[in-house]
A and B are shown apart, each in its own frame.
Chain A
């Protein structure tokens, strides 16, 4: 970030300062990385409930009689299967079948969709979507990122904390289902989604309403959790993070996200490239690994074999749940089987690791 360029702040900035958060620059936003500590916040989400400010995420509205057909051609998941009140995980792929971003698509109405994108990509994603919609009949694309604050209430106690404040039956919402109602008397889109591997909800609120809802949820027993815990939680759940597991060089096949791609739904952007890669086979695969020695493999560290780099770590951290170092890495397919021994070059030292099943963490249902 160049000097003089100020960081953006979410409507909850004041709440973070009140809670003595450590603030950092994240994708041009001044965001809380931790309040009391990453491990403590992580464990609160796994055992009780944590509250995250993720208002930096972007929202792009796609409306009109042509909206569904447009999104169906733009994205790899099957938009025709969505009904109002349901969302799904998908991607924005380019012609090469690689990721511009990963996204959520909410079907608000028959001809009304909300696309939720990563903060780091939001301006670019909006341009991408809007430029492809230009010339499409009856598709209207607007950037509504400024219209929403977004809170994520996550953890086994999330439903119990939210239910008494909500005007709709939140316990009856299905995973990836959502409802428009009220929380503490203010309008909210309440979605049973999240990025932690736990049960939980994401609340889309008007910016001016967000601080009171934030405080109400903390009063209800949630603890504030920062981007540090968000990262360790999503990594234990082996959920991809743009700029780490996925970017403009990776396809859904490589990233283990084949379930997002519906090749039989008709043509969509990137489909030809994906069909070709499927026929030829992938050059690399994303695997989960567990470090066996002392140390932590982190993004950018090379996976080495016989002295040369054969892959790279995309994310790595200390896992508060398992109390060991875990990570995700791209490796050649022949090194991808569970149980394969890997060596990771950590500052010139070969750290032993072994390929394990992902997700590392799966909640009991």
Chain B
């Protein structure tokens, strides 16, 4: 369910590290909690964030969720496909439903994140 090579946050974002870049998305758990996504609002390329800043919002029929970035850095790419077709987030949250790529400024930010098995335990514990 949760890719082994991703890192996970308590806010239900995932990161896939590619050299000095991170691909960022929301998890299957978050997608299920939200239900059908109808709007995705993402930042502009070039925007700079501190760790734990809100970078966008996801609206489903039922609710709105803020998306936070677990790492500080600069947005270098946004997934326009998911903005045009928000269902991608429900269909493939860990793949085609990715949100942004961010060039992170400190690898230290990654240290606070959970590995797949830890995240799985976290969502199953009911604390999430």
Contacts and interface: CB of A to CB of B under 8 A. Distances in A.
A25 to B, nearest CB: 14
A37 B36 contact: yes
B41 interface: yes
Given A317-B62, A318-B38, 17 more contacts: A33-B62, A37-B35, A37-B36, A39-B36, A39-B61, A228-B35, A232-B61, A294-B39, A294-B41, A295-B39, A295-B41, A295-B59, A296-B39, A296-B64, A298-B64, A317-B61, A318-B39
B105 interface: no
A261 B36 CA distance: 39
Interface residues of B, number: 11
A347 interface: yes
Nearest to B32: A22
B57 to A, nearest CB: 7
Contacts, number: 33
A347 B60 CA distance: 16
A229 to B, nearest CB: 9
Nearest to B90: A37
Contacts of A38: 35-36, 61-62
Interface in B12-70: 35-36, 38-39, 41, 57, 59-62, 64
A193 interface: no
Given A296-B59, A318-B59, A320-B61, A34 B35 contact: yes
Interface of B: 35-36, 38-39, 41, 57, 59-62, 64
14 contacts: A33-B62, A34-B35, A37-B35, A38-B35, A38-B36, A38-B61, A232-B61, A294-B41, A295-B59, A296-B38, A296-B39, A318-B39, A318-B59, A318-B61
Contacts of A317: 61-62
The SS class assigned to the B binding surface is strand
Nearest to B54: A347
A325 to B, nearest CB: 8
Contacts of A37: 35-36
Contacts of A294: 39, 41
Nearest to B39: A294
Contact of A228 (B38, B41, B61, B64): B61
A38 B62 CA distance: 8
Interface in A19-38: 33-34, 37-38
Interface in A283-305: 294-296, 298
A298 B57 CA distance: 14
A38 B63 CA distance: 12
